[in-house]
Structure 1
Amino acid sequence: MVIAEKPSVARDLAKVLGATKKTKNYIEGDKVIITWALGHLLGLKMPEDYNKDWAEWNMNTLPMIPKRVGIKPLPKTRPQLKAISQLANRKDVSEAIIATDAGREGELVARWILQYVKFKKPVKRLWISSQTDKAIKQGFKQLRPSKEYDNLYYSAVARAEADWLVGLNVTRALTVKYKDSLSAGRVQTPTLAMVRQQEEVIEKFKPETYFTLDAEYDGVVGHLELKNPRQFKKREDLETLVTSFDGKSLVVDDIKVKEKTEHAPLPYDLTEIQREANQRYQFSAKKTLSIIQRLYEIHKVVTYPRTDSKHLTTDMKSTMKERLIAVTQMSPELVKRLVKDGAVVKQQNVFQNAKVTDHHGLIPTEQSARLEKLDNDEMKIYRMIVERFLGLFLPPYKVSVETISTKVEQSIFIFKQQRVLEMGWRQSENVAKQSVVFKKRMAIKAIYKINKQLTTPPNPLSEGTLLGKMEKHNLGTPATRAEIIEKLISSDLIERQTHRLVVTAKGKQLLQLVNPSLVTPELTQKWELSLEKIANGQLKHQSFIKDIEKETTRLVKEIKMSEEKYVDHSLTNKTCPDCGSQLKEKNTRDGKIYVCSSETCHYKRRKDPKISNKRCPQCKKKMMILENKNGAYFKCGGCQYTEKMQKGSKGKKKISKHEEKKLIKKYNQTEEMESPLALALKAAMKEE
């Protein structure tokens, strides 16, 4: 019995293993059954599962620390779990093979399933970094005993239990004490604090005007050397200095030439490509991960995405030529030239076994991409991965840097110019123009220019720069950082504003209320390093959890004793028509809504009218959907035309052919299982 992470992967494995008999919950062959999880099928038990008193959010029940942590089925996926249990108990099933994602969470998905179904037979592990047929065949030839990955599993369990203990207890304590939904956690809170710290630096920043002096000779600009670059606050001081140079030449005092060699960058790890995609295309971390996941899983053209390594193992040297040929269509002339020259990897530093963790750097597979199947976003990310890969076969970039020190009176001007010796991997860059010739003791007549400068504040954190800070402080893993940012946004603690992240009023308040040790990254960084030690067999997961339990008790006690006050900034001046309480403004996926602040009242309404796809028959603008006591109706914001909504018309507007194709593509790519909607759409397309 092979357990894959999702149906699409199970189908790929079945094709290679020759299993053809398809059922709702598994695919069977002569000697193998391939079944699947749907992400997680099980989760940690909730407080009320341990103690009925814990069902109520009450400060007296905190901290909640179970004597023994347990797991339970997730309601929506219970049928699949039941099917796996039945398969596991079949007499003809002699062993299980874990074929979930090769990482910490993938290990947890399968181990919890096997634990829940009480599987006592031998278990092996499939560990592959790409989903091509070749990689799958090779992987099944090299199956390892699952015991070799026990420490990875213990690390995953420790992470889940730590998040449960800290997250649930601190969140409940804050929510109960301040009577508002306040979400905190061991990783998300210090991440929130990083965004806020940058904002505070910007808010305290005071711009400062200063002046600089340049000297220009034959198109080359030299800068006045100063110990303090912002030394001159008044223009007059520099004007006086320039006047003292009248009739005098700049004399070349010293010339230094230094050759610089820059090797091609290593392949991407997940965090770096997320940062760069955010900078180039403003993609969120979550979106970038989702795109790479499709390139890996559906198109099979890149290796495993959730990697924190940029290096490759030495045994991959033999695969490099095949991978190079596979990307020919992305850069035909260059690839043909590289293959002709023997497909030699010039960036030999990339092969370092000791620097490869669970997975190697992100590179193309040996399978050629069908470019017509890639959408625009997939093409952008695939091109980024391919360009990095091609750089490994190209020589280093070499440049000669000439530093010319010149003097007039007691003032020194430094000129710099560089000449490219070899373009190397920077193939697309323009070659620098011919250098100006400088000689020692040469006297030159320069043109002086005074520049007015203004200090600028640091930039707010974008998603890319935040990912960099999280990586630096070891907050989360490459696989979890995107979801941490998304959780902060969905909890209304952070907002996306164009290319930057902004802490909300609620987020600012939370940082004042939450424990100081959770605000700084040091404690969380220490925990993350402990999880790494567990994965490497250097620390027992039980001792880590005992430390977390002590810390949880301390954190809850701090919140109980706190005298901080809370002001709910989401409260508006509007009153609830049902009970008269104040209405709160809340962000949802469908826009902003008003909800009643009373715990016993369930009134809610949209803040802004919903815009429909229905066009006004008079001015052709999209119409709003409004409601009154007589029901829903359409209204045009332009010409004020109104029209009563026919029963059922709200959700039954006929979609266009383009929208139909778009929906089919979406459901084919993102659904864990092929949904009834996707099947219905496909059937409708065939009929037409």
Structure 2
Amino acid sequence: MRLFLCEKPSQAKDIAKVLGANRRGEGCWQGSDVCVTWCIGHLLETAPPDSYDARYKRWVLDDLPIIPDTWKMLVKPKTASQFKVVKRLLGEARELVIATDADREGEMIARELVEHCRYRGPVQRLWLSALDDASIRKALGRLLPGQDTFNLYHSALGRSRADWLIGMNMSRLFTLLGRQSGYQGVLPVGRVQTPTLRLVVDRDRSIAQFVPVPFWAIEVQLGHAGQSFTAQWRAPEATCDEQGRCLQEGLAQAAAAAMQAAGVAHVSKVVTERVREAAPLPFDLGTLQELCSKKLGLGAQETLDIAQALYETHKLITYPRSDCGYLPLSQHSEAGAILAALQRADAGLAPLQPYLDATRRSRAWNDSNVTAHHGIIPTAAASDPARLAAKHKAVYTLIRARYLAQFLPHHEYDRTQADFDCAGHALRAVGKQIVEPGWRRALPEALTPGKGREPVPAQILPALRQGQGCTVEKVQLKDLWTQPPKPLTEGDLIKAMKNVAKLVDDPLLKQKLKDTTGIGTEATRASIIQGLLDRGYLSKQGKALAATPAAFGLIDAVPRAIADPGTTAIWEQALDMVQSGEMTLEAFVTRQSAWMTKLVQRCAGLRMVISGPPQGPAGKSPPWKKKRAASKAKGTTSGKTDKPTTPRQRRKKAVG
């Protein structure tokens, strides 16, 4: 019997259908000399410390570090019945085809069973990127030798054991230290979750410690040939901060009065350039989570769950847990069929028909940039999105739009920059005139105008030439404050995890984090954030994330290496060596064990303090909040608003 081992029941059903294994058995699908079974994720788990020694049931500092001599795997109780099925079938199989998800974790799910059940027969690997019939048939025609992906398993196993060493030892250590300081909760520590938590703690501290600075801006409404447009005052560099904001109120007041009195501004320079924007790449999971957080208000885990349903249940998209937005050249030949299927399924795409070109090859088609998975795109198994639940439809529509954009022209516009002299003061106006909408025609707001929030159109400048005079219609002096950083949302945190290389100074580690797309993986980032919320390290206030007192206490106490994203880069370098065969699994785990021993010895005598987020001296409100409150009490404007709240401001606003 040829046995196919899948990751999930739905995946097994799709593959079984193509193989003709239509007879339902116990925990499997059966056909003529073929059987398809599934794992339901990990059927095995790394044994807890008390499986090695009963004394580890109690958490005691003197027992740390806990480092197994021989690693044990236990059958998960919840899925024990399916494990028995898989074990029996492995015993009966003459050949095994691993058909779990095509990534490091999927390889481990299958291989740990193969090893635990002592299967010794031949192994092949089915590498799938989509679950529609055509993609499955294509992958079945090019099975990989099992040996080609075996080191992927050892790399995953090394990561799993290293995570166990940190999680079990550091979590026990800091929980016990926390208890000594009076904190009674558990303080979990992890290789990825702790650096992720630090990102939120650091952001919250930067907000709390922020000190606002007042600045002044002038907006001038000009008129020419019956058309009004807006120009911005450009203050002398010597009076501005590094972002070009004027810090001298007297100068701004004098400039506003002078320009109003002059009544005319003369064009000193006009430059127009044609700008061509290429279509954005198809989504990787992280980018999809960022955009869904921003546009749809979805959490990272919710976005992943929806994408997984679109992949597994509806068969509408390719594998969603991808870290890559590029597409293989071989996939381009399927573009015509996919585009035709999308248009048949949704009459709302009819306006795009004249502009779509299936032969167009955007920058997305690049074999050298494709990793284990390509960008998330629609499949040819398209159906009307109107049949989907509202959130599923919204996510699918975004994914579809990014794919359609690859077959539309560049977005082109003319950008005009006009400089003016008004009573010796410099003004600048910028205008944008769209020449070719291009790929922006595929965006949801373009296909359904009037629905949802549409971007505010850029202003169009009148025809201007050097030396012309424009009427000064209105001068508005704005009294503003610099703004504190914004709290992180889940989408922001996903982006920060991907781009964490910016926080690392070492050039080699910085590059490694870029190569591995930061900390965590596309498949795990959402669950890491959710775990921090569930464990009470983070709280949500609307969309915004906030660190709790336990988070501040933990980040202040843990060794820098644990909370430093650079440590993940070092680990990934070593795991790459395991995957390539340059380092053995045993050598990697030995190094991790030695490092863990040193950390425990260094931290065992620490004193922890669990306190709340910083609020200025003696627990008072942050300085920027005081200034904002004082401004409010005086009736003056602070922040981004430019609404006049005092007679002085009303007079300044009314200068025009």
TM-score (ref. length: structure 2): 0.82
Distance 1:452 1:329, change over 3 A: farther
Give the Cα separation in 2 of the matches to 1:70 and 1:341: 56
Q: Which shows bigger deviation, 110-119 or 420-429?
A: 420-429
Q: Write the distance in 2 (CA, Å) between the matches of 1:386 and 1:454.
A: 41
The answer to whether the Cα contact below 8 Å between 1:420 and 1:431 also exists between their aligned partners in 2 is: no
With CA pairs under 8 Å and 6+ residues apart, which has the higher RCO, 1 or 2?
Answer: 2
Of 339, 349, 363, which aligns to 1:349? 363
The correspondence of residues 213-232 of structure 1 with structure 2, limited to 5 A, is: 213-218=218-223, 219-226=228-235, 227=237, 228=240, 229-232=244-247
Gap regions ≥5 residues in structure 1 = 570-688
2:306 to 287, 291, 307: 291
Say which of 553, 558, 581 aligns to 2:597: 553
**Aligned letter for 1:552?**
M
Identify the structure with the greater helix proportion. Answer: 2
1:537, CA displacement in angstroms? Answer: 4.9
**Counterpart check, 1:68 vs 2:74:** no
Which of 568, 573, 582 is equivalent to 1:524? 568
Indicate how the Cα distance of structure 1 residues 255 and 372 shifts in structure 2: closer, same or farther if over 3 A, else same. closer
Structure 2 match to 1:269: 284
- For 1:494 and 1:73, locate their aligned partners in 2 and report how far apart those are by CA, in whole Å: 32
Q: Distance in 2 between matches of 1:329 and 1:432?
A: 35
Distance 1:357 1:290 in 2: 22
User: Tell me, what secondary structure is at the counterpart of 1:405?
Assistant: strand
Tell me, yes or no, if the aligned pair for 2:416 and 2:461 is still in contact at 8 Å.
Answer: no
Q: Does 1:44 align with 2:46?
A: yes
Per-residue Cα deviation, 1:524-559 (whole angstroms, up to 9, x for no partner): 233234434544556544443333222211221222
Q: Distance in 1 between matches of 2:255 and 2:105?
A: 66
| Equivalent residue in structure 2 for 1:207, among 205, 212, 217 | 212
- Which of 477, 488, 492 aligns to 1:465? It is 492
Gap change, CA 1:305 and 1:37, over 3 Å in 2: same
SS where residue 3 of structure 1 aligns? strand
User: CA separation in 1, counterparts of 2:198 and 2:357?
Assistant: 51
| C-alpha distance in structure 1 between counterparts of 2:292 and 2:380, whole Å | 24
CA drift of 1:516 comes to 2.3
Residue 301 in structure 1 maps to residue 316 in structure 2? yes
With over 3 angstroms needed to count, the CA separation of the structure-2 counterparts of 1:529 and 1:497, relative to structure 1, is farther
1:171 aligns with 2:215: no
Displacement of 1:332 after TM fit?
A: 3.1
Matched-pair identity in %: 30
Distance in 1, Cα, partners of 2:493 & 2:552: 17
Contact 1:325 / 1:339 at 8 angstroms: preserved in 2? no
Relative distance call for 1:287 and 1:505 in structure 2 (3 A) is: same
Which of the numbers 395, 399, 405 marks the counterpart of 1:385? 399
- What's the CA shift for 1:132? 0.7
Residue in 2 that maps onto 1:425? 439
Change (3 A) 1:193 1:342: closer
3-state SS of 2:288 partner: helix
Q: CA deviation at 1:244?
A: 4.2
Which residue of 2 is the match for residue 88 of structure 1? 90
Q: 2:377 aligns with which of 363, 373, 376?
A: 363
State the match for 1:160 in structure 2. Answer: 160
What's 2:412 paired with? 398
Deviation at 1:230, TM superposition (A): 3.1
Structure 1 counterpart of 2:463, from 419, 437, 442: 437
**2:138 — aligned with what?**
138
Shift of 1:40: 0.6
- Structure 1's 159 and 124: CA in aligned 2 closer, same or farther, altered over 3 A? same
**Residues 94-113 of structure 1: matches in 2 within 5 Å?**
94-113=94-113
Range 65-74 or range 304-313, more displaced: 65-74
**1:623 aligns to what?**
none
Q: Distance in 2 between matches of 1:248 and 1:182?
A: 66
Q: Counterpart amino acid of 1:315?
A: S
The alignment partner of 1:221 has SS state of strand
- For 2:219, the aligned partner's letter is D
SS of 2:604's equivalent?
helix
Alpha-carbon distance in 2 for matches of 1:239, 1:433: 26
Give 3-state SS (helix, strand or coil) of 2:380's partner: coil
Give the TM-score normalised by the residue count of structure 1.
0.78
Q: For residue 654 of structure 2, what is the aligned residue in structure 1?
A: none
**Cα distance, 1:505 vs structure 2:** 1.7
Q: Give the aligned partner of residue 116 of structure 1.
A: 116
Deviation by residue 1:561-609 (Cα, 9 ceiling, x = unmatched) = 213345799xxxxxxxxxxxxxxxxxxxxxxxxxxxxxxxxxxxxxxxx
Q: Please tell me the residue identity of whatever aligns with 2:572.
A: E
The answer as to whether partners of 2:431 and 2:458 remain within 8 angstroms in 1 is no
In the other structure, the counterpart of 1:332 is 347
CA distance in 1 between counterparts of 2:460 and 2:321 reads: 45
- State how far apart, in whole Å, the 2-side matches of 1:72 and 1:157 are: 15
Q: Distance in 1 between matches of 2:457 and 2:492?
A: 31
Query: Bigger shift: 368-377 or 53-62?
Result: 368-377
The DSSP-based 3-state class of the residue aligned with 1:307 is: coil
Q: Which moved more, 1:515-524 or 1:278-287?
A: 515-524
- 8 Å CA contact 1:330–1:383 kept in 2: the answer is no
Do the aligned residues in 1 keep the contact of 2:267 with 2:421 (CA within 8 Å)? Answer: yes
The match for 1:310 among 305, 321, 325 is: 325
Counterpart Cα distance in 1 of 2:408 and 2:274: 19
- Distance 1:65-1:481 versus aligned 2 partners, 3 A rule: same
1:10 maps to 2:27: no
The 10-residue stretch of structure 1 (184-193 or 325-334) with the greater mean CA deviation from structure 2: 325-334
Alignment partner, residue 450 of structure 1: 477
Q: Aligned in 2, Cα 1:330/1:192: closer, same or farther, shift over 3 Å?
A: farther
Secondary structure of 2:320's counterpart equals coil
1:53 aligned onto 2:77? no
Alpha-carbon distance in structure 1 between the residues aligned to 2:136 and 2:544: 41
SS of the residue 2:306 aligns to = helix
Amino acid in structure 1 at the alignment position of 2:485: P
Q: 1:216 to 1:372 in 2, by over 3 A?
A: closer
- Give the aligned CA root-mean-square deviation in angstroms: 2.3
SS in 2 for 1:426: helix
Corresponding residue of 2:194? 189
**What is the deviation of 1:158?**
1.3
Amino acid across the alignment from 1:17: L
| Contact 2:215-2:481 within 8 A present in 1 as well | yes
> Partner amino acid for 2:116?
Y
- Report if the CA contact (8 A) 1:190-1:519 is conserved: yes
SS where residue 364 of structure 1 aligns? coil
Is the 2:222–2:470 contact (alpha carbons within 8 Å) kept by the matching residues of 1? yes
Letter in 2 for 1:113: L
Letter in 1 for 2:319: Y
The alignment partner of 1:240 has SS state of helix
> Are residue 240 (structure 1) and residue 232 (structure 2) matched?
no
SS in structure 1 at match of 2:556: helix
Distance 2:118 2:467 in 1: 86
Task: Report how far residue 99 of structure 1 moved.
Answer: 0.8
**Residues 1:47 and 1:333: Cα distance change in structure 2 (over 3 Å):** closer
Quote the Cα distance in structure 2 between the aligned partners of 1:65 and 1:534: 20
